[in-house]
Structure 1
């Protein structure tokens, strides 16, 4: 699409996956957004990310990074649920080929820094400003919102997109306070080379190892390594509003004593670091205030038990870009476009948030009848259709 720019200034705060996807798509459709990122360089933060078909279809078909993504990422071969202690397969859904046939796009595991670099390259360096930490926004003027950065610089914009993550400053601008909620679980993250994982079955699959009070999620990434998140349900107090809490040597291994040797081998290959508090934020009824509109984790931060954080941000970016550029092409104001974006995304993201938070309860069931019933459901022939298809087969650009 061309000829829609009309001189309107768009500022995107945050060069994460959602913010960069939005910038690339807006530029493809004729706008000239500016992205402001607090980091001095796009470096590895959060280690890796799983990209499911509901997002990779857009990265492949719209952003132009499909070829680079296929080169940098691991092509995940199915999803496996296992008993965390004896290692038996509880359920196995969709091979690589079956997943692509059902969902129309691949399932990838990739270093977060790699996809950020691919998206930044798609921008061609145009409109990407690093080392710009937002400290304040003044949206009281009639002409424009004014963004104030820590280095003293300022920028004006007609529309400000808060893509600044789960700890979003701009969400506080919309909501008025910090509404982060601790989920009751914490975890450890790590990346392990294949040379340390000779006991691991199905290394090409994304896998959940389940047990009372905890689980291990891991998947391959393009380097051949495994990215893992080890999750433990809290027993005792958690430091209030602390996203990170100090750990003690070996505590993550001790917490999973008696689990399968492949689990112990994987988590023992990485020294204990800080414990990550798993926080989420309650669904919002309004995603905009003044000239500010939220996107991704800033709008709907969720826990990682469905691996949908980055994927929902990409869905948001595509829908918001379409709503904005469609409105401009018809000569409309952006206010109804932002409302249409919210309407199209609110229920979808709310459902994914709820599913993500409740998945931990399902994975962590104690031994007994409820765990046996869960295992029967996950091992049933219709497990994909009942539990996962609604997430992965969804096409966000179909109104």
Structure 2
């Protein structure tokens, strides 16, 4: 069904590059329109869980992922104020083939871009799309350069402020969650253990893990507060504000924060999952369809899953039926993941008696039923969108 079909993808991030390769491998003629002058990524670390790694392997990029990332062995939940490990989640003892990896966002984008180009995808840079028109005619794009582009099939991988999502659903204002996040990376000597460490405190938490073989330390710090911040990946903040927010944390954490000179800051806003993911010759995926808070490490993994399922559906049926099947196959799972991420934010920030009881329960489970905590997420990490679909 895809052989020779022309597909236009907006956005050269994780979702756009992955869906472009998936479609091109099935015979489509794919063009990506990217507004930036080069394919590059801001931000820092990502965690690729088994459900996302399966997609990369199915796309023929498993070896590239292994070469460009680091295997994760465990997650430690730590009392950020009193110190001491609350519980360890052992990732290394999962089922055969279930691999968790730490990867720099830029490295993941680079391997996906190389994979897209190798599959024959054309990538056009400096293509800022200012308008998307859907209707009885084929989707039409208006660029900042004054060009009008008619698309046979349009896929919006254009992120939080997606023009394609707006064309399908109208504009819905997100709301501020009362949380802000700082991101930073620090150079290290390569000796960091392959463990994600989550330091939890009242109204705040900090996550750190190694990147690029331990030569970088990735840091994401989240605080609950009334003052909102812009929803932007490129905004920087005074490092003193970050240090003050975590001044009650253990010396190890404060020592890292003392080394940060220009942290990135962004406000965390909750966007609803889009009601319509497709229609009139267009579809959306990744953050354009279902933005999520960063508390379950599933943003990139969901985008990879979307890419595979969308391409698979388009290979099986004519576009109208295929796009409807794509949303049907993805929506229930995505809503469950977004809800679980929202819940994790609350769990990390407990205070007082509730926090003491929660930590006691985690310690008990870690000692007497260590597999139980990881088994709670079998529905998430054990899912395989690349498995054959029957019926």
Q: TM-score with structure 2 length normalisation?
A: 0.90
Whether 1:133 and 2:123 are equivalent positions in the alignment is: no
1:219 aligns with 2:209: yes
d(CA) in 1 for partners of 2:33, 2:47 = 25
Q: Deviations over 1:142-181 (max 9, x none)?
A: 3x22222222333321221111111222221122114322
What's the CA shift for 1:374? 4.7
| Contact residue 184 and residue 278 of structure 1 kept, 8 A | yes
Q: CA offset at residue 139 of structure 1? A: 2.4
2:13 corresponds to which of 13, 16, 36: 16
User: What secondary structure, in the 3-state scheme, does the structure 1 residue paired with 2:289 have?
Assistant: helix
Report deviation, 1:274: 4.6
The residue that corresponds to 1:392 in the other structure is 381
- Asked whether 1:326 is paired with 2:326, we answer no
| Alpha carbons of structure 1 residues 341 and 192: separation in structure 2 relative to 1, 3 Å | same
Computed over aligned residues only, the root mean square deviation of the Cα atoms, in angstroms, reads 2.2
Task: Report the counterpart of residue 335 of structure 1 in structure 2.
Answer: 320
Query: Is structure 2 residue 112 aligned with structure 1 residue 113?
Result: no
Per the alignment, residue 330 of structure 1 pairs with none
CA distance in 2: counterparts of 1:55 and 1:353, whole angstroms: 16
Indicate yes or no: 2:39 matched with 1:45: no
Structure 1 unaligned runs (5+)?
328-332
Matches for 1:148-227 after TM superposition, within 5 Å: 148-195=142-189, 203-224=193-214, 225-227=216-218
CA distance in 2, matches of 1:47, 1:220: 11
Residues 230 and 379 (structure 1), Cα distance of their counterparts in 2 relative to 1, 3 Å cut: farther
CA 64–241 in structure 1, closer or farther in 2 if over 3 Å, else same: closer
Please tell me whether the aligned partners of residues 230 and 266 of structure 2 are also in contact (alpha carbons under 8 angstroms): no
* Alpha-carbon distance change, 379 to 20 in structure 1, aligned in 2, over 3 angstroms: farther
CA contact (8 A) 1:163 1:298 kept: yes
- Residues 265 and 132 of structure 1: CA distance in aligned 2, closer, same or farther (over 3 Å): same
State which of 279, 294, 300 in structure 2 corresponds to 1:304.
294
Matched, 1:65 2:61: yes
Change (3 A) 1:47 1:31: same
Is 1:74–1:109's contact at 8 Å kept on the other side of the alignment? yes
Residues 253 and 237 of structure 1: CA distance in aligned 2, closer, same or farther (over 3 Å): closer
Distance 1:241 1:114 in 2: 23
Contact 1:91 1:375 in 2 (8 A): no
Note the C-alpha offset of 1:19: 1.0
Give the Cα separation in 1 of the matches to 2:218 and 2:264. 16
* Cα separation, partners in 2 of 1:259 and 1:341, compared to 1, 3 Å: same
- SS of the aligned residue for 2:302 comes to helix
* Paired positions, count: 381
Larger mean Cα displacement after TM superposition, 355-364 or 375-384: 375-384
Q: Cα distance, 1:115 vs. partner?
A: 1.3
> Residues 45 and 102 of structure 2 are in contact (CA less than 8 Å); yes or no, is this contact kept in structure 1?
yes
Three-state SS of the structure 2 residue aligned to 1:115 is helix
**Displacement after TM superposition at 1:313 (Å):** 0.4
Question: What are the equivalent positions in structure 2 for 1:230-269 lying under 5 Å apart?
Answer: 230-234=221-225, 236-238=226-228, 247-269=237-259
Go from structure 1 to structure 2 and tell me whether the alpha carbon gap of 1:15 and 1:267 turns closer, same or farther (over 3 Å shift).
same
Query: Which SS does the other structure have where 1:109 is aligned?
Result: strand
